Chains A and B, each alone.
Chain A
């Protein structure tokens, strides 16, 4: 035992957060995950209070408790808070907390990004909420349909709060998407092949990739709408050649995948809990994995079902209708797999199972009405009525909140080391369940009787009165239920019985990290040879803290993970990851400054903020590789397993590639916007000849191509351990890159673009800005590489970083020529 204690102390010294204010510099996934979940819970309470105000106003007809303008802020903020500040972040938090523990790792691969994500979420959330307390909250509905949200019809700053705040918060989602993907793929315990991964990880992998591809359309849409509001660029304005429907496409291109981004992690919780309480492994692992993949794919092809009343061609509506119904298949497969597991096991009644049971009923109800809504003629009737409100609350409360609470109870001993109280918890469940069904089952009927959503009051005698009263009463019962759950959880910290180390006799590795978990999770990292490590070898609970497995060396003072191959889980290298850092906090504070100064339209300050953010983030990237604060060589380095910065492959490279996939989704959204406006916008006009100076543009493209080719050559030589002249050549590439960027700036400045009159010119401008950003950043990063070569952080012994940067240049070259082809060439040919 003393061996275990010594090991623990040595590890804690390296892995524990700084004390006191130093907690703010924490990057540890357990801390960050907890912060996400607690913050998300607070936003859930705020969103719930708004829901209660809404239900109070609607309880009786013709009430004037909440005036119309406040009511519109309330329903907009209720949706916004619940979706963007509660549902997504709390599930991200759960994933951030759980994933390393489930795959047998000590942390996520990009801990500083976890921290940055959290602060962006927190500051963005505070900025958005502040608008409500100032009485200037967004009031166009949580999907911000323009022109209602435009400068003309929403002149106050409400829409700006939404667009800027949500985009800010979305940085955290993108951060989570990238780091979860790379962590799951590259830092699993040795031997954990993809097919031996706990099913939870499959769900999260799908969610993370969906975030990577699903969020960029909304980010682009928000940027465009904010540009329209602040600078008058008419992307969505008919008179200038834009189209308000483009916003709807961009929004729902994000919005529908988003529903599954919320549902998949919730289903992950269900699929984790059911086998544990059935005392039998999940039946149909492969079917479930197949369903997850199918769901992820189909969910990107069904966004138009939110837009059936827009007047889209009937054939397209039929296509999206069928695609939507097809989602029922993977969902039904999962339901039958859960059912089969219960069938062949011995299910025990327990608090988490109670919520699973509630989930199954409520979620299936929501699913059935979902299939109904997918039927176009029926949708034309019930769209925008309370029927839809009922449906979406069934799927979101049933499909997300219930599983979340099931998971909360299941992992409560893990979070706190104590057990919840069965009696209080049961009361909480039944009140929530009964209240929820009273509220929303009634609401289907209210909708069928014709009550539209988002009305702040209604006439008496339309048949809606009694139903609304029932819904309000149910809403308050549900609130009491959630209150009891909250009370139960708060009380358990004081009165809960101490938990054993694996209280539910579960099969997965998170229970071997201690209850509550140690900062480094595992003192030694075991090999995994099955999906149920703790069922197959319960002694792991002891042997892991005793240091009987791999990577117990800690004298070098580095935080380390095992780097494994993506599919086979074969051990290839050691990933060294950063310790606590202030840069994420400083970077996100600078971004918050940008956000606030854009809100108050004080642009000089915004520029200062941008510069500060760039400085902080680039300074952060400086502490990498062989930098003394990261992983300088030490006498304790593992002889046979290299550190990843000494190889050609590592998490950073994968992170770069996944980030570029997200970036590509953003770029494709821009191309979509361009082609959509060209083909559909009523007043679109294209000049006969391109307003850009094509010769200079092409020349800069040739320069870029030459540079990228030369960069690739450098990397190839470096991989052959040849680094003569590397520094000089990087300086050269960097400076030529700056010149090339300057050429692009010149092209933009010379072009007679009428940004406020023509959507065509405005889109062209955004495309140019996008290229300038990519070329400029590439140049700066290459210059930094040159400096790092000089300082000895990069070279033939540390060849990793130029390899990480290479995809950026390749991508930049790709988007440059594809932009020239689509934005300049295509109109010339087709014009």
Chain B
């Protein structure tokens, strides 16, 4: 396998609030390989967005990266100075945010918002930047591109605004695109269009994509490899087919059980995971999922399990050679 374009190691990020330190990310390591779509899945507060915003150092007030490294194209993003970092952002790494309704500046034309990204990183005249913006609008399939450049965000629908966001993110041909829940705020039909567009663009431009979502359907549809996050930790990581066919962590099994199956017409109820996510102000010393896990043992509450396995990894004591065998949980190969 070729060298990864992004290597994140032992990333830990906390938010310092009045009530104390919220440990949002507690030691996450992963690689992104050239041309792959990596999915980050987890529920709200699992640390999936914070992981990516830490890599870009775009944390909101109070957020602080405590430790770890993020090596992109040979340099550690987390130790770059502000100037070098801003040369990278929007240039080598593009970002798409969740809510296209609020992520565009309401007082500038969409064309200007695309062109300023082009002109920030490329030597381009006004006319060249404009031509590039039209090209980008055509790439993300905004009809009558040249005309729409002069429109303001409020004149666009949610789906069209998200296309503008994608155009901005792709302005300088990034090697890595980070898409933070790009379809969550959109209608179901528009979601599919945007996903198809993202997948198509990834294939044509050959970039890598990190796709953050809480929607397993999205994961199944577009990603190559998946990280399942819970309580600020990676719980399971596997190639996408493996994850759905042989889930090796009780949390993943729980997530899959909570997805409706349209082919099944026995009208059986969805199985929710009982309980609620851990309080990250004082995360439990053991496995964060233990209080909600149907297979929890004394060991789970006592100590945090390591990631077992190689290509398919699971952070679960059931993967330990001495652990009892549980039918629903697949074993990972060492």
A binds B: no
- Which residues of A approach B to under 8 Å, CB–CB? none
- Which residues of B approach A to under 8 Å, CB–CB? none
